[in-house]
Amino acid sequence: MLTPDGERLLGAVQQGLELIAAAAAQVREDTFSSSLSVSAPPAFASQWLVPRLPRFLDLFPDLTYSLIPTSGNSLKDLPRVDASIVFNSAQFPGMRVEALTQLDMFPVCAPNSVLGTAPMAPEDLRRVTLIHEDQGEIWARWFAAVGADQTEPRRNIFVSGTQAALALAVAGVGYAIDDGIMGAKALADRSLVRPFGQRTFAFGSYSIVTPPLERVTPAALAFTDWVRQEISETIRVRSS
């Protein structure tokens, strides 16, 4: 049993807790009825982020969302946004940088492009078309990683970016290099397969950049947490 002083104190404490709860609810409402701006590399945005984005928007139906394609590799190159997804870069002094996933690169092709029975051997690539999203460096790194001499293919095709390279691979034009994130959907529905099994090489990472905790918005924190969970699910499905 409380004394009269104790009862008065309990009443004040209860009233304070109710005010805190009401204030927290108002903060949540204000936070997710405001806005969130995000930048991301164009290929990552179109191939991975946008197909999954409706799930995030459904969580916060009153949120105004802006997505800005960018390939910035340092703080001065990034637009002024609440959160930035970046590839293989950490030049962001004073910002909060959180690694999302390390990337493993590997060849992919359409199922009907596999020669014989997988896994193929590196020397089999002399009979196929190699699709490059650069001037050949990524394929050269794969040959070196698997300890094989680089083979001159039947034909080389050079395109601008991972998205175009993977689209050509899906169409059966040739063999491209994927990081398991960009081509996750195509691998899951078997529009693309891995003709060399688990032969991979490490190639950078994706990270998310936000202001320090004292300045980051709750919406940006929620987005960061959601992206982290979605990438974990992508990796899980890819590995299953």
First to last CA, the chain: 59
Predicted confidence pLDDT, tens digits, the chain (240 residues): 545 444 544 444 455 444 444 444 444 444 454 899 999 988 889 889 999 999 999 999 999 999 998 876 656 667 789 999 998 766 788 888 898 988 889 999 999 999 987 789 999 999 999 999 999 999 999 999 999 999 899 999 999 888 899 999 999 999 999 988 888 889 988 999 999 988 888 888 899 999 988 889 999 999 999 999 999 998 887 766
Between CA 155 and CA 159, with CA 153 as vertex, the angle to 5 degrees is 50
Q: What does the block give as tokens for 152? A: 């001159």
Dihedral of CA atoms 209, 212, 214, 216 in degrees, nearest 10, equals -10
pTM here is: 0.73
Rg (CA), the chain: 24
Confidence at residue 165, expressed as pLDDT on a 0 to 100 scale? 94
Burial bucket for residue 239 (CB in 10 Å: 0-12, 13-18, 19+): exposed
Q: What is the pLDDT of residue 169?
A: 97
Please answer whether residues 227 and 100 qualify as being in contact, where contact means their C-beta atoms are separated by less than 8 angstroms. yes
Please give the DSSP secondary-structure letter assigned to residue 93: T
Handedness of CA 146, 152, 153, 159 (dihedral sign): positive
Identify the residue whose tokens are 């929620």.
Answer: 222
| pLDDT score of 24 | 45
Contact 215, 189 (CB under 8 A): no
Half-sphere exposure (CA, 13 Å, Cβ side) for 114? 18
